[in-house]
Amino acid sequence: MKKFADKMSAYTRQDRFFVASINTVSRGNAPNYASRTLAPAEVEAQRGAFYVYTRRFGEAKSALDQAMQDDRNLPIVYERLGMLAYYQQDSATAEKEFSRAVQLHSTNYAAYFFDASSQMRRRRTNEDDAATAALLEKAISMNPQFAPAYAALSSLYSTKPETHDKALAMGRKAIDLEPGNLQYAVSYSFVLLNLDLLADARVMAARIQAASRTPEDRQLSQQLDQAIQSRADCDAQLAADKRQAEQQQQSAALVTVLSERSGAAPAAKEPPVNKYEKETQYAVEGTISSADCPSGAGGKVILKANGSGLRFKIVDVKQLQIAEGNRNISDHAPACADWKGRRARLYFYQLNDKEFAGELSTVSSSDKPRARQRWCATLRSSKFPLA
């Protein structure tokens, strides 16, 4: 673009220009141009469109109401009513009006595109995706140079594995048609996220950030960066969950013995986290049904897991670690009696004492991690449709 700008700038500074007459094969012949007289309803519909585009919505409604009175079966009337509702962000009405225009066999590609766009805005399930895709395909067949339809179809196709290849092709086509429109590049990046192509999405994000010039562009870039980072964080969280599950499987044999001895729920082997570095530590998750830890002395905690009550011994409450997620909050932890009813993961070591399932070393609140895991699972399975 800089080279082109330099050439154009040099051209405008020339002191002489060359002119020549060229005979062309095509000649205009006004008498041969097709013409017809517009029906009153068409005149009012076009007047209504002018008012819509200039955001004079009250006048637009009056003109379109008159068009409706003149002819209730004219597709263009419903097209313009749909545009009025669309501009006023009334998706339900817009979809109804555009659908009616489509039913009346509209010859305007915009009717099919905006009908599909309205359906995508209110989309809750993927049951109607086939019908929406058909509308976008129709719009493209009527106007193969209409980039917004390709971008919307790319986003829609990205929500299903069987149409992922089409999603990539449609997204690239939108960018090729309008390479200066960052909205299509951002939408394509979200498609890459939907297809689990995180590295490719990062590359696109870097290019978008470099190309951003306006505050709107920078805001789009920032939203994309946040979405990519959230997905990356959650992928890491789910990978950690997978590793933890593998650790639990590896310690299944010893856990079974412990469970049979104390009626415990299955426990999982965990890396050491405190002073017992040379001992094997285990973990079990459940709800604390009672906790008794007198000041300056030992105590006990009963954990309910899978219908069983597990008793854990506290040798020294001052040495007990209290955690919330990955943070150690021992210095300002809730009082022992307040643990009751909380979901927690207890870390412990085996004891020969049959009265207890083990010696407690750490109490970690699992409410927030579990909530984070649920959120990550939801984000991981969510899709990013075109707004």
Question: For the segment 270-315, what is each residue's pLDDT rounded down to a tens digit?
Answer: 444 444 444 567 777 788 888 887 765 678 888 887 666 788 888 8
Cα gap 40→43, rounded to integer Å: 5
Model confidence at 126, pLDDT cuts 50, 70, 90, reads low
Q: What pLDDT score does 13 carry?
A: 87
Domain boundaries, the chain: 39-233, 252-372
Q: What pLDDT score does 143 carry?
A: 95
Q: What pLDDT score does 247 carry?
A: 56
Class of domain 252-372: mainly beta
Q: What is the pTM of this model?
A: 0.58
> What average pLDDT does this structure show over 213-231?
85
Q: Closest Cα to residue 367, out of 318, 325, 333, 321? A: 325
Contacts of 121 (CB under 8 A, 6+ apart): 91, 387
Same CATH fold, 252-372 and 39-233?
no
What single letter denotes the amino acid at residue 191?
A: V
Class of domain 39-233: mainly alpha
Cα gap 38→71, rounded to integer Å: 12
